[in-house]
Structure 1
Amino acid sequence: MPAPRTEPAARRPTLAERRKSETRLDIARAAARLFAEHGTADVTADQIAAEVGIGLRTFYRYARTKEDAVEPMLATGAERWFGAIAAGSGGLPTLADLEAAAVRSLTIDGGEDFELTRGLLRAMDTDPALRAVWHRINMEGERELRRVLAELGGPDADPLHLRLLAAAAAGSIRIALEQWAADGGQDPASLVVRCMRVLGAGL
């Protein structure tokens, strides 16, 4: 009788990879602070690099443009969400499962990143360059979510249903975060629950 198959253990990032990731986040936080305060037009890559304490050449090893520098911070929540979905019970998750995973990933501790994210999303309204980065992150996130759902759903999953499920879930998070940043009222987790239940009613 063959032994049961076990999943390979996740590879632990190397020290160099962890340091690289930390540097990218340091750059993202510095850029977010400066952009929220001054807007992208009045902030240079030199200023961001100086804020972090690195040279300009090092800055460009981590970011293509000054606006792209904030991408790691804005994408962190999506990465937590995908991890929570993949760690579920197996099989294609329902919209309720995606909602529960989103709530866990959006439980923000109110620290510096909380305010930096809010400031970036507010600045985005009047800053086309930041808005383009945000929209790209959301489109890439929706595609990645669709890939994760396809893996969980297996070969028999309906591709159209997967696309609709990914669009409803990813769109709910985007709208919830933008609304949270704009009015400062409800917390984003509560807003994403409301959005998912409205957008996902037909699913």
Structure 2
Amino acid sequence: MTAARGRTSRTTSRPAGRPPLTEERKAEIRLDIARAAVDLFVTQGVTATTGEQIGAAVGVSSRTVWRYFPSKESCVRPLFSAGIDLIVDCLRQWGADQPLEELLDRALADEDDLLAGPDRATVGALVRLTRTEPGLRAIWLQTYDEVEPVFARALAERAGAAADDLRPTIQAAMFNAALRAAVEHYAWRTADAHPDRAAAQTELAATLRSALGVAAEGVG
């Protein structure tokens, strides 16, 4: 009886551990790290930026930075991939006789943050850095490479075909290239411009609409 009470006492007196982070909080931390990384990359260059600096800008340790990202260049992936989910949703909802531009217009009208909202100008500067920073270029291309099978599945569902069929695979490559080209076109054309948020939203939406419309013509 005494031993049992002792075991109970040890069990109930164990200090509670830190509660696990929710997926939403993890996503917020990833985005905070991404924003800090891109600000440092733009202002002082990739080579001069360290994991310690990125962590300090967010208020976390470099160990936390490396827990979320394998390299400093990969820290920017959440900003690179912003807006891709919107396009995937459009492709999944795209009716057989529906112009993609109409569906995209509605989605864009409801979407506040195509490129992480107020970070849009910074992301444009980051995309421009991919011209001269091989590490960032690799992450940029990898982001689109990994989303291409997602596009293929969405287009296959629309056509009632298998995701690994050649036709949706080629169509996905077309949409993927169009999306990447549109963002690059937007970023490189606005290198010296500083539009306000509304103007930037309008210009980016128009660029995406135009590029994806061209790709849609090839899909039919």
Post-superposition Cα deviations, 1:49-91, rounded to whole Å, max 9, x if no partner, equal: 11001011111110010011110121121123223433x26x6
> Are 2:67 and 1:64 aligned?
no
Kindly provide the amino acid, as one letter, of the partner of residue 68 in structure 1. Answer: S
1:136: which partner in 2?
142
Identify unmatched segments of 5+ residues in structure 2. 1-19, 194-201
- CA distance in 1: counterparts of 2:184 and 2:79, whole angstroms: 15
Kindly provide the amino acid, as one letter, of the partner of residue 40 in structure 2. Answer: L
- CA distance in 2: counterparts of 1:126 and 1:147, whole angstroms: 33
Q: TM-score, normalised by structure 2?
A: 0.73
> Are 2:107 and 1:104 aligned?
yes
After TM superposition, list the pairs within 5 Å mapping 1:115-126 onto structure 2: 115-126=121-132
- CA distance in 1: counterparts of 2:143 and 2:180, whole angstroms: 10
2:207: which partner in 1?
191
CA contact (8 A) 1:99 1:169 kept: no
After TM superposition, list the pairs within 5 Å mapping 1:121-200 onto structure 2: 121-155=127-161, 159-184=165-190, 187-200=203-216
CA contact (8 A) 2:163 2:169 kept: no
2:81: which partner in 1?
75
After TM superposition, list the pairs within 5 Å mapping 1:34-73 onto structure 2: 34-73=40-79
Q: Secondary structure at the match of 1:196?
A: helix
- CA distance in 2: counterparts of 1:138 and 1:109, whole angstroms: 16
2:8: which partner in 1?
none
Kindly provide the amino acid, as one letter, of the partner of residue 126 in structure 1. Answer: T
Post-superposition Cα deviations, 1:87-139, rounded to whole Å, max 9, x if no partner, equal: x26x6687x42784388357657942211211111111111111100000011
CA contact (8 A) 1:85 1:98 kept: no
Instruction: Flag the 1:45–1:15 CA change in 2: closer, same or farther, 3 A.
Output: closer
CA contact (8 A) 1:146 1:162 kept: yes
- CA distance in 1: counterparts of 2:76 and 2:186, whole angstroms: 19
Kindly provide the amino acid, as one letter, of the partner of residue 193 in structure 1. Answer: R
Kindly provide the amino acid, as one letter, of the partner of residue 104 in structure 1. Answer: A
Instruction: Flag the 1:127–1:196 CA change in 2: closer, same or farther, 3 A.
Output: same
Post-superposition Cα deviations, 1:121-164, rounded to whole Å, max 9, x if no partner, equal: 11111111111000000111112211222234334689222122
Backbone CA RMSD of aligned residues: 3.0
Kindly provide the amino acid, as one letter, of the partner of residue 189 in structure 1. Answer: A
- CA distance in 1: counterparts of 2:86 and 2:214, whole angstroms: 23
Identify unmatched segments of 5+ residues in structure 1. 1-13
Identity %: 33
Name which structure has the greater RCO, CA cutoff 8 Å, separation 6+: 1
Residue 199 (structure 1) shift = 4.2
Kindly provide the amino acid, as one letter, of the partner of residue 180 in structure 1. Answer: Y
- CA distance in 2: counterparts of 1:102 and 1:117, whole angstroms: 22
Q: Secondary structure at the match of 1:43?
A: coil
Instruction: Flag the 1:160–1:99 CA change in 2: closer, same or farther, 3 A.
Output: farther
